[in-house]
């Protein structure tokens, strides 16, 4: 009797964790380059998988996606270290890091790598309004996640800086953080709305003001010296 109960409990646990299971195969295709060697020596596959797992958990929490039905059904996120220019990009549930960037980075490499991972992993999980969401907002949400995870680099703009709300990256991330200050869970709700489509009216629906008004309020809240 007891062992039967134990068996069903372990089955239940297995089923529950299976629904959360995501694999992160790592492929260092740049092993023969200086950056590929630096990845192997200073970052490594174990650390990469660990950061990938943590990033996914953090993103689900930030997006308030508590049950599997709330999330994308992705089960495998391939991570590649490639001999290429730039920093990193994500496409088709694959994250590609630049080995050249890793090779040339001065500063805390693992912290930078983790920060970039949180950004790219957000692209794996975020909704994009069926392709209608502006690129600046997509990138801004990815940097918002990086910001909330504590990985904002020192070279980012300060709160209140920037020209447009949908400029992208750090500018939009700081603005979204301001909106989050008006309503906790704002970014989660915005992401949820973008599961099926995108409209600027999402800002009105959630915060009672147009995005242009919110941007004006935001700029006024941080007078530039």
Ligand X SMILES: *[C@@H]1O[C@H](CO)[C@@H](O)[C@H](O)[C@H]1NC(C)=O
Residue 78 belongs to what H/E stretch?
strand 78-82
C-beta separation of 53 from 104 below 8 A:
no
- Contact with ligand X (CB under 6 A) among 14, 19, 29, 217: 29
Nearest residue to ligand X on Cβ basis: 27
Q: Kindly tell me which of 30 and 176 has the beta carbon lying closer to ligand X.
A: 30
Q: How many residues bind to ligand X according to rule CB under 6 A?
A: 2
Q: Kindly tell me which of 25 and 208 has the beta carbon lying closer to ligand X.
A: 25
Q: Kindly tell me which of 70 and 83 has the beta carbon lying closer to ligand X.
A: 83
Q: Kindly tell me which of 79 and 117 has the beta carbon lying closer to ligand X.
A: 79
What's the CA gap between 130 and 107, in Å, rounded?
A: 38
Shortest distance in whole angstroms from residue 33 CB to ligand X: 13
Closest-CA residue to 77 (of 117, 29, 37): 117
167 is an interface residue for ligand X by CB under 6 A: no
DSSP tag of 76? B
Q: Kindly tell me which of 78 and 159 has the beta carbon lying closer to ligand X.
A: 78
What's the CA gap between 91 and 176, in Å, rounded?
A: 24
DSSP tag of 64? T
What's the CA gap between 22 and 125, in Å, rounded?
A: 12
Report phi then psi at 67, rounded to 5: -120, 155
27 is an interface residue for ligand X by CB under 6 A: yes
Shortest distance in whole angstroms from residue 28 CB to ligand X: 8
Shortest distance in whole angstroms from residue 78 CB to ligand X: 8
94 is an interface residue for ligand X by CB under 6 A: no
Shortest distance in whole angstroms from residue 52 CB to ligand X: 16
Where do we find the tokens 């008004």? 213
Residues interacting with ligand X, by CB under 6 A? Answer: 27, 29
């Amino acid at each position: 009797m007891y062992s039967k109960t134990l068996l069903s409990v372990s089955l239940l646990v297995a089923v529950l964790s299976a629904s959360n299971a995501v694999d992160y195969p790592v492929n260092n295709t740049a092993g023969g380059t200086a950056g590929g060697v630096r990845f192997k020596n200073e970052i490594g596959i174990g650390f990469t998988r660990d950061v990938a797992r943590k990033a996914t958990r953090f993103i689900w929490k930030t997006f308030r996606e508590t049950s599997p039905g709330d999330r994308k059904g992705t089960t495998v996120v391939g991570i590649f270290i490639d001999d290429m220019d730039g920093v990193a990009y994500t496409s088709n549930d694959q994250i590609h890091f630049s080995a050249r960037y890793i090779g040339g980075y001065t500063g805390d490499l693992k912290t930078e790598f983790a920060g970039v991972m949180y950004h790219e992993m957000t692209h794996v999980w975020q909704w994009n309004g069926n392709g209608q969401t502006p690129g600046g907002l997509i990138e801004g949400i990815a940097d918002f996640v990086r910001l909330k995870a504590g990985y904002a680099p020192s070279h980012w703009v300060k709160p209140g800086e920037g020209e447009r709300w949908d400029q992208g990256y750090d500018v939009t991330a700081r603005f979204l953080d301001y909106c989050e200050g008006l309503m906790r869970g704002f970014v989660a709700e915005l992401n949820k709305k973008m599961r099926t489509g995108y409209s600027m009216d999402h800002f009105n629906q959630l915060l009672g003001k147009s995005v242009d008004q919110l941007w004006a309020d935001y700029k006024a809240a941080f007078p530039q010296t």
